[in-house]
Amino acid sequence: MSTTTANRAPAAAAPFDVAARRAEFPALHQQVHGKPLVYLDSAATTQKPRAVIDAISRFYERDNANVHRGVHALSERATKAFEGARATVARFLNADPREVVFVRGATEAINLVAQSFGRPRLQAGDEVVVTTLEHHSNIVPWQLLAAATGARVVPAPIDDAGDLELAALERLLGPKVKLLAVTQVSNALGTVTPLEAVIALARARGIPVLVDGAQGAPHLGVDVKALGADFYAFSGHKLYGPTGIGVLWARREHLEAMPPWQGGGDMIRSVSFEKTTFNEVPYKFEAGTPDIAGAVGLAAALDYVAAIGLPAIAAHEAGLLREAEAALLAIPGVRLVGTPRQRAGVLSFLVGDIHPHDLATIVDRQGVAIRAGHHCAQPIMQRFKLAATARASFALYSTPADVEALVRALHAAIKLFS
């Protein structure tokens, strides 16, 4: 686990009662294919605690109305809940609520930055540096931007362990670079990137930095003031919240300077055919009716995490990852893909020459949900000359029993193929 100051989960942690926490996640307590569910796909999306499900139900049962525009009681309640959610997100990030833009998820947040921040600034010959560790969501928006402006997307390399090559990155940060986009944690390898060092390199050259926190926020959290980046993106559904809601955090001065990227209701101050003026930030970037219940659910998720404490969650997950790594390596024929200096949330692996899709299908029959494929990170697969890996990913509700079930299921798969 990371110990940087930008990442919020330090080493010290309160005691953690995983059985009590698991009891709070209804979806974990079911059978699939006649076997107890072992959910090891939390990097794709986490299960939701009762507190989140109830907060969403309560909103629709009592407070449902549109926000910002009504003077009636329900609209005022909905607005209060929505803006309260923004304040909760701001606390989670250690940010000003005016710097918190609600979006659909990390993907939309990055596209917003590419189109609104990047497009007016980039010209032919400019460069956007990304890393080879990125999810497609932090590559393709920059490629679209590059296609529209004549700029280039330049990948920073990783080594055989799956760690960023910092010296190579530094060499790439030349005068043509207008933005650096880097993930906090790789969803395919679990690599925790050395954000402090990376951001320091960029800042020394005046290069704005976007951090993709989709996998980092759930395991490490973030303090955007300490981070020193310009943009931070994350998705609610990977952090025990609902799908359809996420956050773009951006420095206020950027948001003030950036043009709106979608037009519609709520993002305007006044509209006429002669002249339209825009709302203040962050509303300038929230055109149309937002996902109000989603924001309420996300706030409930962040409150839930805060009540347990990210340090306790991080310590629990780190212990489990170490156990899982050792248990997998003890299985003959298992190879880990990526052995980074710091890992969070994810183990990617191969078992002999069994295709990862076959493996995932077979272990699913044992009730074990893992993922197989390129994990929306094909450049990483290309780096390791692979088409796919199997991936087990962990969350606060994961247990040693889950790891044991995975190991049993892998042994069964090996037997089947031998």
With respect to ligand PLP, which residue has the nearer C-beta, 367 or 379?
379
Smallest separation, CB 258 to ligand PLP (Å): 20
* Residue ranges of E strands in 284-345: 334-336
CB of 375 to ligand PLP, least distance (A): 7
Rounded Cα gap, residues 311 and 314, in angstroms = 5
* Cα→Cα distances 359→84, 332, 383, 409, 416, Å: 44, 15, 22, 9, 10
Question: Which one, 79 or 235, has the nearer CB to ligand PLP?
Answer: 235
- Residue written as tokens 């049993």? 408
> How far is residue 415's CA from residue 399's CA, in Å, rounded to a whole number?
25
> What distance, in Å, lies between the first and last C-alpha atoms of the chain?
36
**What stretch of H or E contains 82?**
helix 73-93
Which is closer to ligand PLP, CB of 135 or CB of 219?
135
SS3 per-residue string spanning 177-245: EEEEEEECECCCCCEECCHHHHHHHHHHCCCCEEEECCCHHHHHCCCHHHHCCCEEEEEHHHHCCCCCC
The nearer residue to ligand PLP, 43 or 368, going by C-beta atoms, is 43
**Of 295, 301, 279, whose CA–CA distance to 64 is shortest?**
295
Nearer to ligand PLP, 63 or 108 (CB): 108
Instruction: Tell me the closest approach of the beta carbon of residue 182 to ligand PLP, in angstroms.
Output: 10
Sheet holding 334-336, edge to edge: 334-336, 346-351, 389-393, 371-373
Q: Which residues pair with 298 in a beta bridge?
A: none
106 versus 314: smaller Cβ distance to ligand PLP: 106
Q: How far is the CB of 330 from ligand PLP (least distance, A)?
A: 28
CB 215, min distance to ligand PLP, A:
4
376 is catalytic: yes
For residue 2, give Cα distances in angstroms to 88, 192, 343, 392.
24, 7, 8, 20
What span, in angstroms and rounded, lies between the C-alpha atoms of 358 and 101? 41
Q: Which of 53, 327, 376, 412 is the catalytic position?
A: 376
**What φ, ψ does residue 26 adopt, rounded to 5°?**
-55, -40
Beta strands in 283-353 (DSSP E): 334-336, 346-351
3-class secondary-structure state, position 380:
helix
Binding stretches for ligand PLP (CB under 6 A): 105-107, 135, 137-138, 183, 187, 212, 214-215, 235, 376
On whether the CB atoms of residues 145 and 119 are closer than 8 A, the answer is yes
Smallest distance from the beta carbon of 220 to ligand PLP, in angstroms?
13
Residues 78, 82, 87, 93, Cα dihedral to 10°:
160
* Closer of 365 and 374 to ligand PLP (Cβ): 374
Q: Which is nearer to ligand PLP, 155 or 309 (CB)?
A: 155
Least distance to ligand PLP from the beta carbon of 29, Å?
25
Question: Shortest approach of ligand PLP to residue 381 CB, angstroms?
Answer: 14
Sign (positive or negative) of CA dihedral 283, 285, 289, 295: negative
Which H or E element spans position 248? strand 246-250
Mind telling me the catalytic residues?
376
